[in-house]
Structure 1
Amino acid sequence: MELKGIHHVSAITATAKDNFHFYTDILGMRLVKKTVNQDDPSMYHLFYADEIGRPGTDLTFFEITNAGHTYPGNNSISYTSLRVASDEALRFWEERLDEYDIVHDGMGEKFGRKVLPFQDHEGQRLVLVSDENNKGVNAGIPWEHSPVPKKYGITGLGPVRLTVPELATTERVLTDVLGFHHAGTYSNPEGETDMQVFETGEGGTGAEVHLEVRPELQKERPGRGSVHHVAFRVADYQELEKWQERITRERLPNSGLVDRYYFQSLYFREPNGILFELATDGPGFDTDEKIEHLGENIALPPFLEEKRNEIEANLHPLETAQKDR
C-alpha cells in the first residue's frame, strides 16, 4: 500500500458567494461540484479544481456563515499550496494579485522552488508554487474557460504545511503508519528549527507534507480562512479497507469507511490533533453531472436526494452557471 499524494484540502468560508467569486473569477479555478456538507446539509460544500476535478486538484470549502476570525497557531494545517507550471507563471500571478489588491509576500524560494505566498479575502493562507523543476506526481490541467490564461493557470494542490508543538508523534504517523519518507529540510525563518519535508508516492509538489515545529505557539483557534482537514490519495476501495485495518491496528480512533459518493473516505486524527482523511481516486465528479456542466447546479448524493426541497430551501441562492461558454 502506498498513498499517491494529496487528494484534496478542505477549508472554511463564511460566505459562499464571495468565496466563489475569489476562487473562480480571480484565481481562475473551476467549480466542479456545488453540493452540501453531507454531515450537515444546511451548509454548502464547494469544490474548486482543474478542468474535471482530478484527484489532487481539489480545494474545497464548507460555508459556515457564523464562522469567526481565525487565530493562527499550533496543531493546524497552516498553509495550502497551489501548483502552477513555471516561474513565469508566478511572475504573472504577482502582477495579478497586485491588480486585485490581494495581500502577498512577493516571490521567494522554499525547498528549491519559487513560491508566492498570499492570502485570500478571508485570510486563508495560500502559497503558489512553481513546478518549473518538479519531478513527481503529475499536475492537473487548467480549465479552458478560466479567466486566467491556460499556461498560467492553477494545476492542482502542492505541499501542505502542518504546524505542531512537537515533532515525534506526527512524524511517526506520517512515516511508520502512512508510509511517507523524509525528503529533506529547509530553513524556517519563523521558527528555531528547520522545516521537515516528507513525501509519498511519486513525490514532488503534489505529494509533500512540510512539518513545522513551533512549541512556543498557542493552539490555533479556527474560523473563516482556516483549514479543516487534508486528504491523501488511495487507489481504490479495496486498498482503503486495508488502510482502515492498519489505522485501527495502530489504535488511532477513526470514522470507519464513509461513502462520499464521489469518493470513499476514512478519517482520523494524528496525535497533535490534525484531521487526516484517506480518499479514493474515484469514482469522480462526473458521476452525477456531465463534464461540461460541472458545478452549475446543486448536486446531492442519492441518500440526500429525497430531501432536496428541504435542503435547497435552507441554502442561500448561489448562481454558478457559466455565462460565457
Structure 2
Amino acid sequence: MSIKTSGLHHVTAIGGDPQRNADFYLRTLGLRLVKTTVNFDDPGTYHLYYGDQSGKPGTLMTFFPWRDAPSGRHGTGQATTTSFSVPENSIGWWKQHLEATGLDTGRVTNRDNEDTLTFTDPDGLKLALVAHPQGDPRDPWDTPLVPAEHAIRGLHSVTLSVSKEDATAEMLTDGIGLDFSEQDGNRFRFAAGDGGPGALVDVLVTPDAPRGLVASGTVHHVAWRVPDEQTQVAWREELVDRGVNVTSILDRQYFRSIYFREPGGTLLEMATDEPGFAIDEPLLELGRSLKLPPWLEPTREQIEASLPKLELPAENNLERK
C-alpha cells in the first residue's frame, strides 16, 4: 500500500437513551458535543459527535443512540475497547471521579509503561483511559466538571478482537499503512506514523470467544484518517485492486467516507480530515442545534418530530462555561 493513514479519525458506537448518552460523555467524561445531527441512513435517530473544542480528527467518539435498541454482545469480529488519552498523572483523579458518579472501575494496570483504567459507559460499552508516559500535546476541552489538567486529550487506541490475527494484520499493514509495533502474549499492537496516542490499534486474539453482536453498547465501526478527497479516491482504487469490497465515496457532510470490513469482521472507515464541523455553524455554537444535510432539509419537520428532546448542559457552550 503506497498510502498510509496518520491515525484514528473517530470511533462510532451504538448507544441507548440519547439524553443519558449526552449526560455521560459531556458531564462525566468532559467531552464537547461538536455536532448534533442524524444518522444519514436512518434519520429517525440522532448521530452525536463528541470531541475536543472543534472536533478535530483523532478526538472524536460518535454515537447512534436508539432508546429501544437491544443490548449487543462483545466478542470477535468487532472493536471491543475504545481508549482515551489522559495526562500521565491523572489516572488516580479519574478513578476517584468515575467512582464518585457510581461507576465501577477496574484496577489500574500498566502495559507498555502506560497506566490504564477500564470501565463501561451506561450502555455497557467498554472504555479505557490511558496515560502515555511521553504525554499528549493535544489541547483538551476544559470544563468545570473535568479541569484541563486531567481532561481527555483525544482517542488513544482501539482494540480489535479476532479469532486469528494473520489476515487482520495484513489488512492493517498492507491495507491502511500501519506498522507492526510489538507483541504482548495474544495482543499485537500496530501504529500509524511514529505511534503514540491517537495512532494505535491493538489486535487481541481470542479464538475461544463468541462472535460479537453489534447492537447497543458495542462499537459500530472504526474510522481512520485520510488527508483529503484526492487521496481518498486513490486509496479506494488501491483497495479495490486488492480485491477488497469497498463502498463508493459517501458524503457525510463533515467528511467523506469509504467503508469496508477487515478479514476479522470489524467494519472500518477511511474518513477525510476536511471539511470539518464548522461548515454549518460557528465554533461557539457547535452542537447546540440539529443540523441536517441539504438532502434531508425538506423533511426537517418530520425528522424533528420523530427525535426525542435533548437537553445540553451549559458546559457545552464556550461563553457559558
- The TM-score normalised by the length of structure 1 is 0.94
- Which residue identity is paired with 2:172? L
Equivalent-residue separation in structure 1 for 2:144 and 2:292 (angstroms): 25
Equivalent-residue separation in structure 1 for 2:165 and 2:176 (angstroms): 16
Cα-to-partner distance string for 1:82-123 (whole Å, 9 max, x where unaligned): 11122x211110110111111210211122211111111111
Matched, 1:151 2:149: yes
Equivalent-residue separation in structure 1 for 2:4 and 2:119 (angstroms): 32
1:277 is aligned to 269
Structure 1 residue 321 displacement after superposition: 6.1
Cα-to-partner distance string for 1:286-309 (whole Å, 9 max, x where unaligned): 111110111111111222122211
1:50 is aligned to 52
1:190 is aligned to none
Q: Secondary structure at the residue paired with 1:230?
A: strand
- Which residue identity is paired with 1:272? G
Deviating more after overlay: 201-210 vs 76-85: 201-210
- Which residue identity is paired with 2:275? P
**8 Å contact from structure 1 (residues 54, 140) kept in 2:** no
1:164 is aligned to 162
Matched, 1:223 2:199: no
Structure 1 residue 222 displacement after superposition: 2.4
2:18 is aligned to 16
Aligned pairs for 1:161-310 (under 5 A) are: 161-187=159-185, 194-310=186-302
Structure 1 residue 144 displacement after superposition: 3.1
2:128 is aligned to 127
**8 Å contact from structure 1 (residues 30, 146) kept in 2:** no
2:108 is aligned to 107
**8 Å contact from structure 1 (residues 295, 321) kept in 2:** no
Structure 1 residue 217 displacement after superposition: 1.2
2:36 is aligned to 34
Q: Secondary structure at the residue paired with 1:159?
A: strand
Q: Secondary structure at the residue paired with 1:28?
A: coil
**8 Å contact from structure 1 (residues 30, 50) kept in 2:** yes
Q: Secondary structure at the residue paired with 2:214?
A: coil
**8 Å contact from structure 2 (residues 141, 152) kept in 1:** no
Matched, 1:81 2:83: yes
Equivalent-residue separation in structure 2 for 1:321 and 1:254 (angstroms): 39
Equivalent-residue separation in structure 2 for 1:23 and 1:41 (angstroms): 22
**8 Å contact from structure 1 (residues 9, 230) kept in 2:** yes
Structure 1 residue 206 displacement after superposition: 1.0
Deviating more after overlay: 141-150 vs 290-299: 141-150
Equivalent-residue separation in structure 1 for 2:16 and 2:102 (angstroms): 20
Aligned pairs for 1:91-102 (under 5 A) are: 91-102=92-103
Cα-to-partner distance string for 1:248-276 (whole Å, 9 max, x where unaligned): 11111111111111011110011221100
- CA 1:241–1:139: 2 relative to 1, 3 Å: farther
2:4 is aligned to 2
When the two structures are aligned, how many residues end up with a matched partner? 315
Equivalent-residue separation in structure 1 for 2:149 and 2:253 (angstroms): 32
- Which residue identity is paired with 2:129? L
Equivalent-residue separation in structure 2 for 1:139 and 1:266 (angstroms): 29
Q: Structure 1 unaligned runs (5+)?
A: 188-193
Equivalent-residue separation in structure 2 for 1:131 and 1:290 (angstroms): 33
- Which residue identity is paired with 1:123? G
**8 Å contact from structure 1 (residues 267, 275) kept in 2:** yes
**8 Å contact from structure 1 (residues 7, 56) kept in 2:** yes
Equivalent-residue separation in structure 2 for 1:50 and 1:215 (angstroms): 37
**8 Å contact from structure 1 (residues 57, 140) kept in 2:** no
Q: Secondary structure at the residue paired with 1:303?
A: coil
1:191 is aligned to none
Runs of 4+ in 1 over 3 A off after TM superposition: none
Cα-to-partner distance string for 1:190-234 (whole Å, 9 max, x where unaligned): xxxx21000112311211110011111110122211000000001
- Which residue identity is paired with 1:163? S
Q: Secondary structure at the residue paired with 2:6?
A: coil
- Which residue identity is paired with 1:29? L
**8 Å contact from structure 2 (residues 113, 132) kept in 1:** no
Structure 1 residue 171 displacement after superposition: 0.7
The two structures, once aligned, show a CA RMSD in angstroms of 1.4
